[in-house]
Structure 1
Amino acid sequence: MLIYGFLFFIFMYFIGLLVICLKSSHLLLMLLSLEFIVLSLFFGLTIFILMFMYESYFLMIFLSLSVCEGALGLSILVSMVRMYGNDYFNSFNVLW
């Protein structure tokens, strides 16, 4: 049963990477796919901890760090929308 969960974790992770590669010009879709990757990593970490019967306290640390990452991404998104009017990377020049 845990093997199927591990394969599902790998499938979720690579789907998230595929979406990041395909939608690299839209910041909101990149943030959503990054959160999907973090969710798949949490799923894989949970399977790993259940398989080897380790302490599950690290899952709470991982979730708190992923919430901080999501809040930082949303704050960057809000500042870009306020400054440039949208969240497309091709609407402004980063190297300017």
Structure 2
Amino acid sequence: MSNKLTIVARIEANNDKVERVKAELLKLIEPTLKETGCIQYHLHQDNEKPSVFVFYEIWESRALWQQHLSSVHILEHRSAVDGAISSFTLNEMTHL
């Protein structure tokens, strides 16, 4: 088994906030890809339900991913989308 960590994060925006949430999620990509330990960081939008977004991430370790969660761009993101997200699900996974 791998020591790498796979993250699948599902974000659902309020229907009237889809474009705002999408714009804020897109802002996360560039700075996150520059972070130590980030191997992949891919954002997807559901074709049938555009309010649903999924990040598929691969990190060198859980510790480096947790550092990411404390980064300035993540903290700013949380503030920017406050009240615009209807649901958020995060799965920490291991590639088999």
Q: Same fold (TM over 0.5)?
A: no
- Structure (1/2) with the larger helix percentage: 1
Higher-Rg member (1/2): 1
- Structure (1/2) with the larger strand percentage: 2
TM-score when normalising by structure 1: 0.30
